[in-house]
Amino acid sequence: MAMSPLPDSRTEPDGSAVIRVLSYNIRSMRDDRAALARVIRACAPDLVFIQEAPRFFRWRKKASRLAMATDLVVLGGGATAAGPLLLCSLRATVEQTEDVLLPLTPGLHRRGFATAVVRFGGARLGVLNCHLSLQDDERYAQAGQALDRLKAMDAPHAILAGDLNEPPTGRAFRLLTGALRDAWTARPWGGEHTYPSAGAHRRIDAILATEGVEVLGCGVPSDLPGLTEADLRAATDHLPVLAALRVPAS
């Protein structure tokens, strides 16, 4: 059975904005790049929260090529955020961006946040893209740091998305959902599980938002024009999470 359509992006007469938000771990673009671009284009996003963006040789050029291939622009992040990358459509008016490197734990991978404050129509919101640690204690600490960073951005509404590296029962996931709404739980749409892309059985990727943001649907997309199961499996080892959100005018 086909899914009900996810609302398209639009600005409402009252200044509020419906936006499509995509969160996607792309494994440093080591897989089928053409399939990756087709998946992102099919989702028609206004904001893309990329995890595991290229971080080394010519990483800026690779990020720019991905943006061009998906009719988007680079908003921030990449190697300067230790992997999280933000892309956006031309609907976005950018107020500020900031890449944040988190403390390095010896023997573990360096982590960071890609953050921005953007406007869509009359709606102003903070965004934070994260890829949390594989180590439980560090992951929990990073979840708290992400919430602190969102609060410090002082935007009326906010979205946090990323690869949380644990299921909803995990400590870090629960810390985040204690302060933010889990978009999948609020209004499920599409599939639930995000990893691995071939035979997904775990939900470790999520889109979360502050209370004033209305969730119109969220989940792993399928049955979208131009989107195929073959591309979803070939693009990377995660499945994407797509949400439609209505953000009130500020």
From residue 14, how far is each of 136, 165, 210, 229, 248 by CA, in Å?
Answer: 43, 38, 20, 38, 8
In a domain, 164, yes or no: yes
Q: Is residue 216 part of a domain?
A: yes
Lowest-pLDDT range, 1-5, 23-27, 46-50, 135-139? Answer: 1-5
pLDDT band per the 50, 70, 90 thresholds, residue 97? very high
Q: Are strands 17-25 and 47-51 parallel, antiparallel or unpaired?
A: parallel
Q: What is the largest CA-CA distance in the chain?
A: 52
Side-chain-side CA neighbours of residue 22 (13 Å): 29
Strand-pairing partners, residue 10, are 18
**Mean per-residue pLDDT for 125-149?**
98
Q: Does residue 3 sit within a domain?
A: no
4 in any annotated domain: no
Q: Residue 115: which domain range?
A: 10-247
In angstroms, how far is the first alpha carbon of the chain from the final one? 38
Identify whether 153 is part of a domain.
Answer: yes
- Number of folded domains that form the chain: 1
Query: How many CB atoms neighbour CB 2 within 10 A?
Result: 6
Band of residue 3 on the pLDDT scale cut at 50, 70, 90: low
Q: Give 31: exposed, middle or buried? Use CB within 10 Å, 0-12, 13-18, 19+.
A: middle
**Residue 231 in domain:** yes
Phi and psi of 76, rounded to 5°?
175, 175
Residue 169, pLDDT > 60, answer yes
The whole-number average pLDDT for the span 141-154 is 97
Instruction: Look at residue 46 in the predicted model and tell me its pLDDT.
Output: 98
Q: Is residue 5 included in any domain, yes or no? A: no
- pLDDT for 83 equals 97
CATH of the domain at 216: 3.60.10.10
Between 3 and 82, the higher pLDDT residue: 82
Position 1 scores a pLDDT of 40
Bigger pLDDT: 194 vs 105: 194
Q: What is the pTM of this model?
A: 0.97
Percent of the chain with pLDDT over 70: 99
Q: For 197-207, how does the pLDDT look when each residue is reduced to its tens digit (9 = 90+)?
A: 999 999 999 99
Tell me the average pLDDT across 15-39: 98
**Does 131 map to a domain?**
yes
